[in-house]
Amino acid sequence: MSNGPNDRDLESALSVSVDDEAAERAAERAAARALDEGLADVAYATLDSPLGRLLVASTERGLVRVSFHTEQHEDVLNELVVRISPRVLEAPARLDEVRRELDEYFEGERKSFDLALDWRLSRGFRSEVLHKLYRNVPYGETATYAEMAADAGRPRAYRAAGSAMGSNPIPVVVPCHRVVATGGGLGGYGGGLDMKRFLLKLEGAL
């Protein structure tokens, strides 16, 4: 007598698979409808990357958050609830373009991002430094904390520039990994120095 699955077992397994797929599609449609009808203000999704699992979130303005696995994603979602809106919804389809561009970047096929950004989680001098970084330090190049402080108009505020990099809410896309210490050291990085080293090597800057 065979111990393998019989026809009824196979039908049951296929039925569960189909039901799961249908439920997933229904959830995606419901999420899209909620966003279209203004019932949610922040959409988020997760994706696998060479840096581990990332959480990405966007608003109607653009990409607002990229979070490494070194942060508790639940804490990140709570931050979005407190700082932006309690109406936060998992909606992977709304992050398709973000995920596609990040995949291309990690595969070495993309050197700049064509994404709208929502900068609201960074303010004051920190925001100024991050804007300068985003505009002025291209793929494959690096700058020092002191240079970034000077570029933002406060040459002696290199520690504050370092703080801006450490609190960057949109890492990788806003490339704080390209900012290094004077003298050639890596400096710090929110995701850890292994991640920073990986990104700099990916871009040929290390």
| Residues carrying an active site annotation | 176
Quote the CA–CA distance of 67 and 170 in Å, as a whole number. Answer: 8
Closest CA to 158 of 175, 136, 143: 143
Quote the CA–CA distance of 178 and 191 in Å, as a whole number. Answer: 13
CA 1 remoteness from chain centre? 53
DSSP string, 99-135: HHHHHHHHTT--SS----B--TTS-HHHHHHHHHHHH
Partners of 47 in beta bridges: 54
